Amino acid sequence: MWPWRRAGVSKTLLCVCMLAMFGVLYLHRQIMTRGILQTTRLYLVVTQWSRTNANLGSTEEPRRFLSEEEILRNPLDIDLKTVTDPLLSRFFLHGQTTFSLNDTIQVRIETYDSYGIRRTSGGDFFRLWMEEPGLRANVSGDVIDHNNGSYTGILRASWAGTPTIFCYVEKRKEEIALIYRKYHQYDTLWNAHADFFNGVAVESTLCFTRPMPPAEYCNLTADNGDLPYYCVQPLHPDLNCSMVVSVWSYRRRIPLSPAEKLVYDLSLDKEKDIFRQNISVNISRGPENQSALSSTTPCKAVSSSDTWRNEAPSGFFYKGAWIPRLCAMTVPITEPAYSACLKNRSLWISGDSTSMQIMTEMNNVLRVVPAVTRTHEPKIIRHPHYNYSIHWNAHEFPYFPGLLHYPKAYIKPESHHFDKIPNDSRDIIVLYLNTHFILVHPDVFRRHIKKLVSRTRALTQRAPNVVIAVRGPHAYYKQMYQEMYSYWGLVFRDILHEEFRPLYDRVIFLDFWDMSVALGLPDFHPSPAIVRTMTQSMMGYICRG
């Protein structure tokens, strides 16, 4: 007896099922022949895509960047005319040119080399944005890498008007591969030093995130929050590893072979990295109005979980003002508003010089001290009447403070102050690791974030009223240090999302990536106007409880 008869299935029902199956197969074939299925799949991917789950391992999910393994597959010694050439590459609309407010705008990016040959692999890093200078309007776009030489750019119709879409190759895959190789070869891209001193003899040695044979090393990990910190042992017989007194650094030119130097200089002339064509679109109001694209919910009322799941773009500039999509910035940039938020609290904004910029902006509004110096010693602003304080100090190694020699004690773990916070505290903590980690392999960043997550979890369990936020990376372009790509911000954002996932319900994510992509910041130090916008956004989220 046939299997379906044993299962009690009638011949009539079997025939119906077979006819239905053949009908589905026929319909599938018709769709494929008309090219509809590919478009439908892309639409579903775009509409369902959130950067929260991007690049988490599935090859079917849209990815904004390739893995290190994929990036390094290409040989080092290459014909530079075979890399992506923006002057011959193309980008064009994937569909109509007229849109309504809040529509998704798709563009197709097709890369070609200098021979005019179509590229067949991905890995390039693009800046995609849309702007309308007359309205002082800008919005960022995201780029999905199909790893076949083509990319899909996604933007949101964020205002009614006639904006223009631009595309720019920030770094080519070959440049990114070069830096990956240098991480493995030299550990740190800049020179970090420790000074050993016994009162008479003094010696300075190089420091790394891992021992680099054949030298002998001092293990300073215990002084670095149990995170990797190794400095070459001093040669002087009267100096030992316990005699480290200060740290300093300087930028060095990465040792490069002639072939590597050609790759390193690929983006030296930034004007050649902008695509020749740009795309103008028409956006009508359609069924929505401008106010419908932003929320009226105060940012302080948004759950911390929602800040991690916020879809792209997180906001846009309109008439020069940043308009977040998730919530409304209801904390004005005034001394009374900031003081009311901080009253009887401490605000901890440790990190690097960009965190120091936020501290400077806070003081510009609060006017507590005459000025905040740009040096790297710990800083505290106190207000006796409102009983608040704002604290800054440099995060742990890897940290590159420059040519001034600072006491080693100034370089502290990002979480060093956690133990000072009482269980009933209402303090506000803004965590930030980014710029200095661009000078080491991303695995170092992940290790530090894992430790930070562990310490943060313990703090939230014993001090549930503490407000904790994580500030994500920001993008920048055309800055003077060729080896410091904002590309790594893509990698760091995903690491933050992956490692902080267990704490989404307790930790706020401050996402300034779209804000910085939209404007194309020229340096990793944002301009005062952008720092002001970032600070206002930060205050909108953390002024709660």
Residue 152: φ, ψ to 5°: -110, 120
Q: Does 244 share its domain with 331? A: no
Residue 61's pLDDT is 67
Rounded to an integer, what distance in angstroms lies between the CA atom of residue 462 and that of residue 401? 34
The 3 state secondary structure assigned to 399-463 is: CCCCCCCEEHHHCCCCCHHHHHCCCCCCCEEEECCCHHHHHCCHHHHHHHHHHHHHHHHHHHHHC
The answer to whether residue 536 is domain-embedded is yes
The answer to whether residue 154 is domain-embedded is no
CB 101 within 8 A of CB 288: yes
Which DSSP helix (H) or strand (E) runs through 4?
helix 3-6
Q: Does 308 share its domain with 237? A: no
Residue 250: CB atoms within 10 Å: 11
Residue 62's pLDDT is 79
Residue 458: CB atoms within 10 Å: 13
Rounded to an integer, what distance in angstroms lies between the CA atom of residue 356 and that of residue 394? 9
Q: Does 363 share its domain with 472? A: yes
The answer to whether residue 280 is domain-embedded is no
Residue 287's pLDDT is 73
Rounded to an integer, what distance in angstroms lies between the CA atom of residue 433 and that of residue 412? 12
CB 138 within 8 A of CB 516: no
Number of domains in the chain: 3
pLDDT along the chain (545 residues), means of 10: 35 40 41 35 36 39 90 86 95 89 95 96 96 97 96 96 96 96 97 97 98 94 96 97 98 92 90 90 82 82 96 93 94 97 97 97 96 95 96 97 97 94 97 98 98 98 98 92 95 98 98 96 94 97 90
Instruction: Name the residue type at position 387.
Output: N
CB 33 within 8 A of CB 46: no
The answer to whether residue 428 is domain-embedded is yes
Q: Does 352 share its domain with 469? A: yes
Q: Does 226 share its domain with 321? A: no
Q: Does 412 share its domain with 316? A: yes
Q: Does 516 share its domain with 447? A: yes
CATH of the domain at 367: 3.40.50.1110
The answer to whether residue 160 is domain-embedded is no
Q: Does 384 share its domain with 504? A: yes
Q: Does 225 share its domain with 325? A: no
Q: Which of 232, 250, 268 is the last residue of a domain?
A: 250
Per residue in 299-327, pLDDT (tens digit) is 999 999 999 998 889 999 999 999 999 99
Residue 194: CB atoms within 10 Å: 26
Let me know if 192 is exposed, middle or buried by CB neighbors in 10 A (0-12, 13-18, 19+): buried
The answer to whether residue 122 is domain-embedded is no
Let me know if 259 is exposed, middle or buried by CB neighbors in 10 A (0-12, 13-18, 19+): middle
Q: Does 213 share its domain with 334? A: no
The answer to whether residue 287 is domain-embedded is no
Q: Does 245 share its domain with 301? A: no
Examine residue 502 and say whether the peptide bond preceding it is cis (omega within 30 degrees of 0).
no
The answer to whether residue 156 is domain-embedded is no
Q: Which of 264, 338, 331, 294 is nearest to 80 (CA)?
A: 264
Residues in the chain: 545
Containing structural domain, residue 383: 296-542
Residue 94's pLDDT is 79
Q: Does 329 share its domain with 390? A: yes
